[in-house]
Copies of this chain bind each other. A is one copy, B any other.
Amino acid sequence: MNTLGSRLRVHLFGESHGAGVGCIVEGVPPGTRIDTAAMQTRLDQRRPGTSHLVSARNEPDRLVIQSGTYNERATGAPVTLWIANNDARSQDYKSIHHRPRPGHADWPAHQWAKGFEDPRGGGPYSGRLTAPLVAAAALVAPMLEEANLLAAAYLQQVGDVEARIESDAAAVQARVAASPVHAADPDAEAAFVSAIEAARTERDSIGGCVGFVTSPMPVGWGDPFFDGIESQWARALFAIPAVKGVEFGAGFAAATMLGSAHNDAYRPSPGGLEPVTNHAGGALGGRTSGAPIWGRVAIKPASSIAQSQMTVDLDTGKSVAIETKGRHDPCIAVRAVPVVRAVAELCLADMLLLARHERSS
């Protein structure tokens, strides 16, 4: 329940309009340097209210570390991260309490909790819970850096506009940092912005895809079957609200390919051998091949739109039209980019801790 990872374990908690959101991170090695300012910077990349292309909710997202550190180092005890909610406007949501919003978790949440769900905004289902995920990733970033491991994410598609697939994680990271929509491809960026603004003008929202790519990986990390690279990453990526598809390497395009074209031939390399191409997305038999792990994540259009939509009033049992108030994103794929990166980093950190273990066995 709300737990990610086996060596590095993240336990998520909090609600969109409650006191705040946070997580416990277990397994951080003692001595890991804690750079609170750098963590805050990472959080700021995800935070709403920064431009007209994202939600206007104004949250400072101020990070507080409640446990697990001493003198700016991890002690090895569970690290608790806490981000208070400031600009929660729960009154925006009151009128729709008994009128479940299409596309949101309202209806299943209501049925599951038998009416005891938190009706304020997305409650514990909210995308706001991805803030502590970003903070947790920032916490383990120094560990990854030391191990020369990098995970980057970028806006790869908005509506019908597609950017090229990227394969150099470091370059992606630099370019994304400079883009208001987290695009790595400057040619696509303008088209992305147009598509998002068009949706926004129509009081609509639009879907998109986020690409991810790591630096070249050590060979053999992962496990066959249920703890394979793809299984672990997909579980983590599908946890991000609005994700509806995940693919690695050629992914769904592999369905259209012949084996002779899809197979990645090997050539000699200093480490023994390496794949010439990387249709596999860096994973074979659940383990890393040595090539970067890469793939794409499909993000649905935001469910909250300023247009009228049909639902049912649970009190009367009658159809009613509602308009979702609140301050929302015209294209949540934009804000999903730092979250996909964070989730990839958390997966890498978990794998790194396991691999250190196995290397020394």
Partner of A305, one of B68, B225, B259: B259
Once the chains bind, are A103 and B305 in contact (CB under 8 Å)?
A: no
Given the contacts A13-B68, A300-B257, A314-B273, A112 and B236 also touching, CB distance less than 8 Å? no
Stretch at the interface among A77-85, A170-178, A181-189: A77-85
Q: Which residues of B contact A116 (CB under 8 A)?
A: 30-31, 70, 73-76
Complexed CA–CA distance, A246 and B251 (Å)? 8
- Residues of chain A in range 197-211 having any CB-CB distance to chain B below 8 Å: 199, 202, 204-209
CB distance from A254 to the nearest CB of B (A): 4
Complexed CA–CA distance, A108 and B9 (Å)? 23
A37 adjacent to chain B (CB < 8 Å): no
- Residues of chain A in range 213-258 having any CB-CB distance to chain B below 8 Å: 219-228, 230-232, 234-239, 241, 243-252, 254-258
Q: Which residues of B contact A264 (CB under 8 A)?
A: 102-103
Partner of A280, one of B103, B117, B285, B318: B103
11 example contacts (A-B, Cβ-Cβ < 8 A) are as follows: A21-B67, A22-B67, A24-B24, A105-B285, A108-B220, A160-B256, A230-B243, A234-B234, A251-B298, A257-B301, A356-B357
CB distance from A264 to the nearest CB of B (A): 6
A57 adjacent to chain B (CB < 8 Å): no
How many copies of this chain sit in the oligomeric assembly?
Answer: 4
The 7 closest A-B pairs by CB, nearest first: A105-B285, A357-B357, A112-B220, A245-B247, A108-B287, A205-B259, A77-B124
Once the chains bind, are A118 and B70 in contact (CB under 8 Å)?
A: yes
Q: Which residues of B contact A30 (CB under 8 A)?
A: 112-114, 116-117
CB distance from A17 to the nearest CB of B (A): 10
Scoring A residues 88 to 129 as 1 if CB is less than 8 Å from chain B, else 0, what string do you get? 000000000000101111011111111111111011110001
Partner of A254, one of B105, B118, B226, B298: B298
A358 adjacent to chain B (CB < 8 Å): yes
A58 adjacent to chain B (CB < 8 Å): no
A77 and chain B: residue at smallest CB distance: B124
Once the chains bind, are A248 and B245 in contact (CB under 8 Å)?
A: yes
Once the chains bind, are A14 and B67 in contact (CB under 8 Å)?
A: yes
CB distance from A81 to the nearest CB of B (A): 10
CB distance from A189 to the nearest CB of B (A): 17
Once the chains bind, are A361 and B29 in contact (CB under 8 Å)?
A: yes
Once the chains bind, are B76 and A2 in contact (CB under 8 Å)?
A: no
Once the chains bind, are A13 and B19 in contact (CB under 8 Å)?
A: no
Given A108-B284, A234-B234; 20 other pairs, CB 8 A cutoff: A2-B226, A7-B357, A11-B24, A13-B66, A13-B77, A15-B68, A30-B113, A66-B82, A75-B118, A103-B262, A103-B263, A104-B284, A107-B272, A107-B284, A108-B219, A159-B257, A231-B235, A260-B307, A266-B319, A272-B317
Complexed CA–CA distance, A20 and B68 (Å)? 11
Q: Which residues of B contact A199 (CB under 8 A)?
A: 258-259
CB distance from A325 to the nearest CB of B (A): 15
- Residues of chain A in range 307-332 having any CB-CB distance to chain B below 8 Å: 307, 309-312, 314, 317-319
